[in-house]
């Protein structure tokens, strides 16, 4: 099985010439690039559901000003994707395994969400008018619970009856340069584990009967892809055609015959997850509540 897959719509489209099945546009916000892909029609080659996909690319998160700017751009993207109202009941789902750093983005974001549903139940007359009803659920992964994540979320959805579900997960990219440097949101949902070939049941409006916004960050890339990118750079220096490398099946044989189909994450993953989870949680709290600065 090949693990050279991507969860990102714009990476998938880069393999095809422009056609009538999608629209794409970009906008710059200082050091941040926002790319909006709208899939207009199902295409088996593109293999993405009809809907909106927004990716937010940035260079680094070392500076606090950069982190604030990324969070602001993410907030703009969220508002463009869903018009939230005072009557909304939001369920935040933190997907992933908190015991594995590269897969802990979802639970880390969930830990920083302002949860209010219990306040509406216990003190309905005293709840600040700027707060909306929010619950959080971290279902872990099938290897920890023995249960399908989708089934657990369906059960919680029936119990809580949300009007919007926001799911956060770690994603896979085909580009080394994008690891921990791109956030994608979409309104089509998510298939946990799809980027590494470990498909679970989808989390989308068709399954849950509720609008779903998915937020993810590229935290892993396949080892084969790293080698391919290195070979590509080397081939450019030698003025060789990359097509000759891709036509050569040696790479595939090496990785598949030696069971090297693995995914890799940077050594700075701990700090990156901390920064990214704070950025996403900050944007979500501001998106959901009218003025979370006073909470």
Q: What CATH number does the domain containing 16 carry?
A: 3.40.50.1450
Tell whether 101 is covered by a domain.
yes
Give a yes or no: residue 147 inside a domain: yes
149: containing domain: 9-294
23/245 Cα distance (integer angstroms): 31
Whole-model pTM? 0.84
Tokens of 39: 């899939």
Three-state DSSP class for residue 217: strand
Q: Does 176 fall in a domain?
A: yes
In angstroms, the Cα distances linking 85 to 51, 167, 185, 215 are 21, 19, 19, 20
Number of domains present in the structure of the chain: 1
Taking the CA atoms of 134, 285, 39 and 229 in sequence, report the sign of the dihedral they define.
Answer: negative
Question: What's the pLDDT at 220?
Answer: 86
Give residues with Cβ within 8 angstroms of 73, minimum separation 6: 29, 32, 34, 56
Residue 23: inside a domain, yes or no? yes
Is 2 contained in some domain? no
Helix runs in the chain, H state only: 9-13, 64-81, 105-110, 117-122, 142-145, 149-160, 205-208, 223-237, 242-247, 250-257, 269-288
Report the chain's terminal Cα–Cα distance, integer Å: 48
As a whole number of angstroms, the distance between CA 20 and CA 222 comes to 31
- The answer to the question of residue 3 being in a domain is no
pLDDT 10s per residue in the chain (295 long)?
A: 233 467 888 887 766 656 778 899 999 999 999 999 999 988 777 778 899 999 999 998 989 999 999 999 999 999 999 999 999 999 999 999 999 999 999 999 999 999 999 999 999 999 998 999 999 999 988 888 888 889 999 999 999 999 999 999 999 887 888 899 999 999 999 976 554 455 568 899 999 999 999 999 999 887 767 666 666 665 665 555 555 555 455 556 555 655 556 677 888 899 999 999 999 999 999 999 986 654 4
Nearest CA to 145 among 192, 79, 81? Answer: 192
The pLDDT of residue 1 is 28
Within a domain: 160? yes
In this structure, is residue 128 part of a structural domain?
yes
| Residue 33 pLDDT | 96
Here the tokens at position 40 are: 């207009």
182 φ/ψ angles, rounded to the nearest 5 degrees: -155, 135
């Amino acid at each position: 099985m090949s693990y050279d897959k991507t969860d990102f719509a714009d990476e998938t489209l880069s393999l095809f010439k422009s056609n009538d099945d999608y629209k794409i546009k970009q906008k710059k916000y200082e050091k941040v690039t926002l790319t909006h892909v709208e899939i207009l029609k199902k295409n088996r080659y593109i293999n993405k559901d009809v809907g909106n996909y927004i990716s937010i690319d940035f260079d680094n998160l070392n500076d606090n000003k950069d982190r604030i700017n990324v969070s602001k751009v993410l907030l703009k993207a969220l508002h463009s994707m869903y018009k939230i109202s005072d009557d909304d009941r939001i369920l935040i789902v933190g997907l992933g395994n908190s015991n594995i750093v590269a897969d802990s983005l979802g639970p880390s974001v969930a830990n920083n969400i302002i949860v209010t549903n219990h306040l509406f139940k216990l003190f309905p007359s005293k709840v600040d008018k700027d707060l909306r009803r929010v619950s959080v659920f971290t279902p872990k992964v099938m290897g920890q619970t023995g249960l399908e994540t989708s089934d657990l979320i369906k059960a919680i959805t029936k119990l809580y009856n949300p009007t919007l579900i926001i799911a956060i997960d770690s994603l896979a990219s085909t580009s080394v340069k994008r690891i921990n440097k791109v956030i994608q949101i979409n309104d089509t949902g998510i298939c946990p584990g799809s980027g590494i070939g470990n498909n679970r049941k989808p989390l989308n409006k068709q399954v849950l009967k509720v609008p779903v916004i998915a937020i993810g960050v590229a935290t892993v890339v396949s080892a084969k892809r790293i080698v391919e990118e290195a070979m590509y750079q080397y081939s450019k220096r030698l003025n060789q055609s990359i097509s000759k490398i891709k036509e050569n099946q040696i790479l595939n044989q090496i990785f598949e015959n030696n069971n090297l189909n693995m995914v890799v994450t940077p050594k700075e993953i701990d700090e990156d997850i901390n920064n990214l989870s704070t950025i996403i949680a900050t944007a979500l709290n501001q998106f959901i509540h009218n003025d979370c600065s006073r909470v």
